[in-house]
């Protein structure tokens, strides 16, 4: 979901960007107008997240999945020890990709026993001193599970897949060595990946690292070592301008908290619906829920779509329902969902 006003602005200038007579998709990525657009997106992101000067902001391609491989390629040598927390499907994919890179991969916590409805308690795991980094997933998109704390690594580089929570609330970037995010949740369209990495960690990539995933090479080229996904960067700039106008990440957090509280409260107070996630680990972005009678799942989805409520199917791997209430969704969207769920329960109880 993208903010309506962002889409409308993109629409209005799709064939004539900045009076150029051309689409932003047609201008040269090395021309002044587009270079200024990319610089604007970077500066807005730096301002919104208060990114320290010793961090690179990179605009890459390949999504979080690309970063699952890029992180070990850039930050380790074969045989190194790396550590991961496994809180769900996205953590598991990152772990699997790391294992392909000739590493000693230690999974310090695995929430399997709770069917991935919990996060490991702070202090419940110990990071070996030789670990090159600890990787975790602050928000698991599919499971709807969120860490309610930032792991204290005692100086070992902390890496976070922020795809489904970036810009949803303030973060202290200096606590992290590297964060990354596919754009398609809170930042813009699919096909753009944002990486924010502390400069001193870059420049030691394995020689076989593809240039498009090499942080130092990309940083040296201002993310334009090859043709960047120009339309995605342009839309990112528009989305970030919208976040600024809305009051920044603090305002986003308030708005997101209110949306999530309304939805969880409704679910918890209605015996027709249930959310499986531990209270302290509930996501403000992704709210999975089940019906008391799963035979009604298909009916629920069909009637929801008729009511204009789309994208409510749970991930194909887990079934059930999932409401993704990213930044671009307003309280009205959540209210409409609750209204529909109320009516549906009344009709089918």
Q: Kindly list the distances between the CA atom of residue 256 and the CA atoms of 5, 68, 175, in Å, as whole numbers in the listed order.
A: 19, 28, 23
Task: Tell me the window of 63-71, 265-273, 281-289, 296-304 that interacts with a second copy (CB under 8 A).
Answer: 63-71
Catalytic residue among 17, 161, 237, 259: 161
Residues 118-137, interacting with a second copy (CB under 8 A):
none
Active site residue 99: no
> Dihedral of CA 315/338/162/194: which sign?
positive
73 class by beta-carbon count within 10 Å (0-12 exposed, 13-18 middle, 19+ buried): buried
Q: Kindly list the distances between the CA atom of residue 45 and the CA atoms of 38, 48, 115, 171, 255, in Å, as whole numbers in the listed order.
A: 11, 5, 35, 12, 19
Residues 273-312, interacting with a second copy (CB under 8 A):
308, 310-311
Shortest Cβ 331–a second copy spacing (Å): 19
Active site residue 185: yes
**How far apart, in whole angstroms, are the C-alpha atoms of residue 65 and residue 197?**
17
Report if residue 208 touches a second copy, rule: CB under 8 A. yes
Residue with tokens 């993208």: 2
Report if residue 202 touches a second copy, rule: CB under 8 A. no
Active site residue 259: no
Count of residues engaged in binding a second copy, rule: CB under 8 A: 59
Task: Tell me the window of 120-128, 149-157, 221-229, 279-287 that interacts with a second copy (CB under 8 A).
Answer: 221-229
Q: Kindly list the distances between the CA atom of residue 104 and the CA atoms of 29, 94, 98, 203, in Å, as whole numbers in the listed order.
A: 40, 14, 9, 22
Report if residue 232 touches a second copy, rule: CB under 8 A. yes
Nearer Cβ to a second copy, position 28 or 174? Answer: 28
Cα Rg of the chain (Å, integer): 21
Closest C-alpha to 154, from 193, 114, 112, 126 = 126
Q: Are 37 and 233 in contact (CB under 8 A)?
A: yes
Report if residue 316 touches a second copy, rule: CB under 8 A. yes
Closest C-alpha to 148, from 124, 175, 120, 125 = 120
Nearer Cβ to a second copy, position 69 or 117? Answer: 69
Report if residue 18 touches a second copy, rule: CB under 8 A. no
Residues in contact with a second copy by the rule CB under 8 A = 1-2, 4, 7-8, 10-11, 14-15, 20-23, 25-31, 61-66, 68-70, 73, 97, 100-102, 182, 184, 189-192, 207-208, 210-213, 225-232, 235, 308, 310-311, 316
Report, as residue numbers or ranges, the catalytic residues: 90, 161, 185
């Amino acid at each position: 979901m993208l903010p309506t006003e962002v889409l409308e602005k993109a629409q209005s200038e799709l064939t004539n960007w900045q009076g150029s007579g051309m689409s932003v998709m047609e201008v040269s990525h090395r021309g002044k107008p587009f270079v200024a657009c990319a610089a604007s997106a970077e500066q807005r992101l730096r301002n919104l997240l208060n990114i320290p000067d010793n961090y690179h902001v990179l605009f890459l391609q390949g999504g979080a999945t690309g970063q699952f491989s890029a992180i070990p390629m850039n930050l380790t040598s074969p045989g190194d020890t790396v550590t991961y927390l496994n809180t769900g499907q996205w953590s598991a994919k990152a772990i699997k990709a790391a294992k392909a890179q000739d590493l000693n991969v230690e999974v310090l916590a695995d929430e399997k026993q709770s069917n991935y409805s919990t996060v490991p308690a702070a202090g419940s795991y110990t990071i070996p001193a030789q670990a090159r980094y600890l990787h975790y997933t602050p928000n698991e998109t599919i499971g709807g599970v969120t860490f309610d704390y930032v792991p204290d690594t005692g100086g070992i580089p902390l890496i976070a897949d922020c795809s489904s929570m970036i810009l949803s609330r303030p973060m202290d970037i200096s606590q992290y060595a590297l964060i990354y995010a596919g754009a398609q949740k809170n930042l813009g369209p699919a096909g753009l990946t944002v990486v924010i990495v502390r400069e001193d960690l870059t420049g030691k990539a394995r020689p076989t690292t593809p240039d498009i995933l090499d942080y130092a090479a990309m940083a040296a080229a201002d993310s334009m070592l090859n043709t960047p996904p120009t339309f995605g960067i342009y839309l990112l700039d528009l989305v970030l301008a919208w976040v600024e106008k809305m009051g920044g990440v603090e305002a986003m957090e308030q708005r997101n908290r209110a949306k999530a509280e309304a939805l969880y409260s409704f679910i918890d107070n209605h015996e027709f619906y249930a959310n499986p996630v531990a209270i302290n680990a509930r996501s403000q972005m992704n709210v999975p829920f089940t019906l008391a009678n799963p035979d009604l799942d298909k009916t629920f989805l069909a009637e929801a779509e008729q009511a204009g409520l789309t994208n409510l199917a749970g991930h194909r791997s887990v079934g059930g329902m999932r409401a993704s209430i990213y930044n671009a969704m307003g309280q009205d969207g959540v209210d409409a969902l609750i209204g529909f769920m109320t009516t549906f329960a009344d009709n089918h109880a």
